[in-house]
Structure 1
Amino acid sequence: MGGLRKSFDGRLVLDDINLDVPSGQIVGIIGQSRGGKTTLMRCVNLLEQPEHGTITIGDETIFADGKVACRDLAKLRQRVGMVFQRFNLFPHLTAVENVVLAQMHAAGIGERDAVACAVRLLTRVGLTKRAMAYPEQMSGGEQQRVAIARALALGPTVLLFDEPTSALDPESTGEVLRVMRELAADGMTMILVTHELPFAREVSDWVVFIDGGRIIEQGTAADVLDRPREARTAAYVARYASPG
């Protein structure tokens, strides 16, 4: 993406954002609340539409010159899956039904094939024995892994994670981290928004610090979190690395 700009009610939220996400990499986006990081991620699949700049996914430009260039937004959102902070599972459906429903409604896949895919993906995320459980019967980490399976069922080339561990305890966070590592090993491209610096350090190939709608610093996790060059980055890391 290049030259990305976005405003809300006259307030500039993204200001000249330039970011490349190589295929198969995990990019962690960190920064203060209301700093623009979630808006940036939502622009990637056009849940928010920028005012200026370009967004290219693979070899397809989906936004340019202030206009949406993507012809099929539904197809785009299958290619660019999103895993939300609060899981967004249907409470009246079992784990397998949540994954099946996404395929049948979003991709028009037949029920038999959708069930087979759902079972395979729930196994992949370590939930074989929880396929018939309802969300209220699962831990937060289990629900988040169901949400990941649901996103994977649509065959994305990129996965977006919006604060995927903020509602989880340390054990559940570890479960989600394991799944993300396995996806990375399989070549999945991921963009992660998080305020949890230890998680960003563990999972990210590249870390981007956003403040006031601008990218202040980016680099490897070790560079940004251990050896920040910019004073604003150093202050943010020192604040959120401190206990309490």
Structure 2
Amino acid sequence: MTDVTERTGTDVLTITGLSKSFDGRLVLDDVSLSVHHSTITAIIGQSGGGKTTLLRCLNLLERPDSGVITVNGTPIFDQRVVCPDLPKLRRSVGMVFQRFNLFPHLTAVENVMLAPLDAGVPESEAVERAVELLSRVRLTHRATAYPEQMSGGEQQRVAIARALALRPSVLLFDEPTSSLDPESTGEVLRVMRELATDGMTMVLVTHELSFARDVADHVVFVDGGRIIEQGEPANVLGNPSQQRTREFLSHQREG
């Protein structure tokens, strides 16, 4: 798969006419979206509206029923899976999960090292990369701690370091702060802001509308499996054109 740095100016991800059903229920309905290099796309909407399913389709953790997905200009799904190497795809399109998904029997540095080692990176290089990334997420002092010894915010930052260890073209975040207390949420959002400043391409499902407003380049409101509205944060969150978007934002403010 071509590295995005070799295709500057192109979209990192392009989705066209994407649909997905579960047990006969349409969860994604003709969704089309482009994600540009070095931008942050925030996907917002009610629970059950299709946000996480859309995110998981982007690296084929969920298989769409129809549509086209391209990564760095190369099709990975075109009415069927056409990606010849799913592990390689998932190294290019990294994922940070809501529930951390760290291995409990491995320390922080071992969790970060694991994927590079599996990809054939020499151990000395994997260690060096892991230590560097833990420093980047401000957790050098927790390198030898096990997940059960860390707070939720620390675990999520280790999960971010782990996703970065394979040097992805884009990072997907599935509500990375939803299970965290306010202080831990602030720690994780600070790391994500720093990644944004560094030019990392990110797509995140989030309920943190203030974060989306401050950091995202593009906001997508998904409801009932369809994109209702998308555009710059100031427009979608500050002056939405669609009544359904206005209703959603009004309910969020009331909550």
Q: Fold match, TM over 0.5?
A: yes
Match of 2:4 in 1: none
Match of 1:208 in 2: 220
Match of 1:225 in 2: 237
C-alpha deviation, 1:195, in angstroms: 2.1
Match of 1:54 in 2: 68
8 Å contact kept, 2:196–2:215: no
For 2:36, what is the secondary structure of its paired residue?
A: coil
8 Å contact kept, 1:197–1:241: no
Is 1:6 matched up with 2:6? Answer: no
Root-mean-square deviation (CA, aligned residues, Å) is: 1.1
TM-score calculated relative to the size of structure 1: 0.95
Is 1:87 matched up with 2:100? Answer: yes
Match of 1:32 in 2: 46
Q: CA–CA distance in 2 between the matches of 1:102 and 1:58? A: 22
C-alpha deviation, 1:101, in angstroms: 1.4
> What code does the residue aligned with 1:97 have?
E
Q: CA–CA distance in 2 between the matches of 1:31 and 1:179? A: 23
Q: CA–CA distance in 2 between the matches of 1:3 and 1:136? A: 42
Match of 1:235 in 2: 247
Q: What are the equivalent positions in structure 2 for 1:74-223 lying under 5 Å apart?
A: 74-105=87-118, 107-223=119-235
> What code does the residue aligned with 2:42 have?
G
C-alpha deviation, 1:130, in angstroms: 1.1
C-alpha deviation, 1:45, in angstroms: 0.2
TM-score calculated relative to the size of structure 2: 0.91
C-alpha deviation, 1:104, in angstroms: 1.3
Q: CA–CA distance in 1 between the matches of 2:144 and 2:58? A: 33
> What code does the residue aligned with 1:163 have?
E
For 2:34, what is the secondary structure of its paired residue?
A: coil
Match of 1:17 in 2: 31
- Unaligned stretches of 5+ residues in structure 1: none
Q: CA–CA distance in 2 between the matches of 1:95 and 1:143? A: 8
Q: CA–CA distance in 2 between the matches of 1:125 and 1:202? A: 20
Q: CA–CA distance in 2 between the matches of 1:159 and 1:79? A: 8
For 2:70, what is the secondary structure of its paired residue?
A: strand
Q: Deviation digits for residues 200-244 of structure 1, max 9, x if unmatched?
A: 2233111100001000001111211121111111111111122x4
